Homo-oligomer: A and B are copies of this chain.
Amino acid sequence: MSFIEKARRAQIVECAIETIAEVGYAQASLGQIAKRAKISKGVISYHFANKEELLEQIPIEYYMAWQSYIAPRIEAQKSPKEMLRVYIESNLTFVDENRKHVFAVIETVSNQRTADGKLRFAADHDETILLPIENILTLGMQEGIFREFTRPSARVMALTIRNAIDGFTIELMRKPHLDVQEYTRELVTIFDKSTKK
């Protein structure tokens, strides 16, 4: 892949993100995206096989950036309690610093569907996103720091934590001047208390 190819693809994906963040997934047409990038629609077709391939890049790019931001911060912690705190804190910070992108990911993941109408990214969600949280919970339980979790109840806990983070994103779009620090502190408190023995 040439330099120009990479740069163009990056630019187009960036404009797709901005477009989705602004007008929503349903209204984000190739025409809209091209206009924002100040290029012809044909350029998008030239660099991407189709619209689907373009929109796929948004979650893919995001997951990579997300992982390389979150993972080392968690690994730097010793106790599961601290891991959970850092997981929440670093997620909210990451969201705060990548507002448009994260919002575009949520829009894409919850809207993009395959030809038969099923949600495209529904399956990936579990293993990629939920597993790390479940691992922290299991670890904390084994060390006797967290309360007892069955496999299903750890899953509910993980889902609830994840929903809280995604919900924060949507709230942040609605209220851009939200006090992120305060929100973070409160979420840490909530899930600290709810995992305690």
Contact = CB atoms under 8 A, between A and B. Distances in A.
Interface residues of A, number: 38
Interface string A106-134: 00001101000101001000000000000
A38 B81 CA distance: 57
Contacts of A117: 22-24, 27
B182 A152 contact: yes
A185 to B, nearest CB: 8
A179 B157 contact: no
Contacts of A191: 194
A30 B91 CA distance: 40
Main SS class of interface, A: helix
A85 to B, nearest CB: 14
Number of this chain's copies in the complex: 2
B26 A26 contact: yes
Contacts of A170: 110
Contact of A157 (B27, B156, B190): B190
Interface of A: 22-27, 110-111, 113, 117, 119, 122, 152-153, 156-157, 159-160, 162-164, 166-168, 170-171, 174, 179, 182-183, 186-187, 189-191, 193-194, 196
Top 3 nearest A-B pairs (CB, nearest first) are: A163-B167, A156-B186, A23-B117
Contact of A163 (B119, B164, B194, B196): B164
28 contacts: A22-B117, A23-B113, A25-B26, A26-B26, A26-B113, A110-B110, A110-B170, A111-B111, A119-B174, A122-B174, A152-B179, A152-B183, A153-B182, A156-B186, A157-B190, A159-B167, A159-B168, A160-B164, A160-B190, A162-B167, A163-B163, A163-B164, A163-B167, A189-B194, A191-B194, A193-B193, A193-B196, A194-B194
